[in-house]
Amino acid sequence: MTDDANYDYDLFVIGAGSGGVRASRVAASHGARVAVAEEFRVGGTCVIRGCVPKKLLVYGSHFAEELQDAANYGWTVENTKFDWPTLRDAVLRDVDRLNAAYTSTLETHKVERFLERAVVTGPHSVRLASGREITAKHILVSTGAWPVMPEFEGAEHCITSNEVFHLEKFPRRVVISGAGYIAMEFAGIFNALGSHVTVVNRSETILRSYDEALRDRLLQITMARGIQYRFNCPFEKVVKRDDGLLEVWLKGQIDPILADQVLIATGRRPKTDGLGLETAGVKLGQSGEILVDDHAQTSCPSISAVGDVTNRVQLTPVAIREGQAFADRVFGGKHVTIDYSCIPSAVFSQPPLAGVGPTEGQARNKYGSIKVYSSDFRPMKNIFGHRPERGLYKMIVDAATDRVLAIHMIGPEAPEILQAAAIAVKAGLTKADFDATVALHPSMAEELVLMK
């Protein structure tokens, strides 16, 4: 491509998360002069304060039940104890490793980095925190999302998913506000590691976007594991006592809940505050999200946005694909768009659940006549355990064509199994195709081809 000498850069990226780093790297590989600004650490939410460190905590917490079950498999395990600083510090070291790896990727592709905040000052200009003004032919905003902290008395005593990875001490009692995927994942982590966990939710539903049967099964299992729930209970206030304990007062409740930590996990909002987008006429939605078209372009032709800041699909692989597509379109001359259908997702709760395609209710509304197949089974892994927990797999099929519309599952390793199954759903395979596939026995995954 030909450099445009009228600008300092061909592309300036604000935010070095998954989408921003991918867009920067790919644009540079196409010959663009690229710079990226990041006010915290390279890697973004997923790598620094999200799915990667959280998944490592999930792995660490799994040892609690594995050690408990070991005796039934003939192992003698004595004097076991859990040390939070050891796990916490190991996770943070891996975050450092990934931060270095992402930084190295930018260096390798000769992307200039500014480790400071940048704000938009016009259609082709940004200003760094140091005061430097920079011009660019194209600006890409990929600043992600930020935890929502509701307004209530004592909110300053609470933490969000940003701070939870840095706790000095492991809390014996935890109150979690919210019942989305972040709340349910941390509820499982703290519960498995020995905390008394109470989940408080404004409504009576957990994991609203997931299939109802899976939600009900997860609720039953987690309650049996000792997690307590308070539904239809908004926060009224949080009071910090002289001894350091927190009193969580809920509306309509007579007595407070005592906690060592209160985690607010009530969602994430696009991080657009103070970015100066109004100076370029960039339109925002009701939640502060940047409104974009199918090509990631905003209402200002020279400014685009990818990832969570657009509030379309808040998933790391989607941000990466959007960043790649943007760079290939603008700097590689390729005509590519993103297909948002059949995106698989998972909740790393304990046990985990995963799904691809519409829920049963959504499928009935859209297709009318559907068939639902299921398998309700006790995973072999649990046979020698102390938990009579059962897995549940569901397959939703278009009655008119026999095409598999969706698969939903809860049980050990559900996300690992669903990734392969999602390929089949995306490819438009039929229930007959699943039935014709020989089962891999003994496995949990074989239930996919045995559903009735």
**CATH code, 391:** 3.30.390.30
| Residue span of the structural domain in which 315 resides | 9-146+269-332
pLDDT in the model for residue 47: 84
Residues with active-site annotation: 441
pLDDT at 287 over 70: yes
| One domain for residues 251 and 175 | yes
Residues 322 and 389 in one domain: no
The answer to the question of residue 338 being in a domain is no
**Token pair belonging to 251:** 């509306």
* 44 labeled binding residue: no
Q: Is 30 helix (H, G, I), strand (E, B) or coil?
A: coil
CATH number (domain holding residue 229): 3.50.50.60
Q: Are residues 193 and 240 in the same domain?
A: yes
Residue 182 annotated as binding?
yes
The rounded mean pLDDT for the chain is 95
Mean pLDDT of 98-124: 95
Q: Are residues 130 and 168 in the same domain?
A: no
Same-domain status, 244 and 384: no
Q: How is 339-376 classified by DSSP, letter by letter?
A: --TT--EEE--SS-EEEES--HHHHHHHHSSEEEEEEE
Regarding whether 356 and 326 lie in a shared domain, the answer is no
Which pLDDT value is given to residue 90? Answer: 97
pLDDT at 3 over 70: no
Same domain for 96 and 127? yes
What global pTM score does this model have? 0.95
Pick from 266, 288, 310: which residue ends a domain? 266
The whole-angstrom separation of Cα 61 and Cα 191 is 9
Domain termination residue (choose one: 216, 250, 266) = 266
Band of pLDDT at residue 295, cut at 50, 70 and 90: very high
Judge whether residue 1 has pLDDT over 70: no
Whether 252 has a pLDDT exceeding 90, the answer reads no
**Quick one: 159 and 218 in the same domain?**
yes
| Residue 451 marked ligand-binding | no
- Per-residue pLDDT band for 305 (boundaries 50, 70, 90) equals very high
**Residue 45 pLDDT > 90:** no
pLDDT for the residue 383? 86
Consult the annotation and say whether 340 binds a ligand: no
Residue 259, phi then psi, degrees to nearest 5 = -150, 150
If asked whether residues 290 and 406 sit together in one domain, one would say no
Identify the DSSP state of 178.
-
pLDDT at 274: 96
pLDDT digits (tens, 9 = 90+) for 370-403: 999 999 999 988 888 777 899 999 999 999 999 9
Domain boundary among 266, 297, 313: 266
What is the mean predicted confidence (pLDDT) over 166-175? 97
More confident residue, 4 or 18: 18
For the chain, what is the domain count? Answer: 3
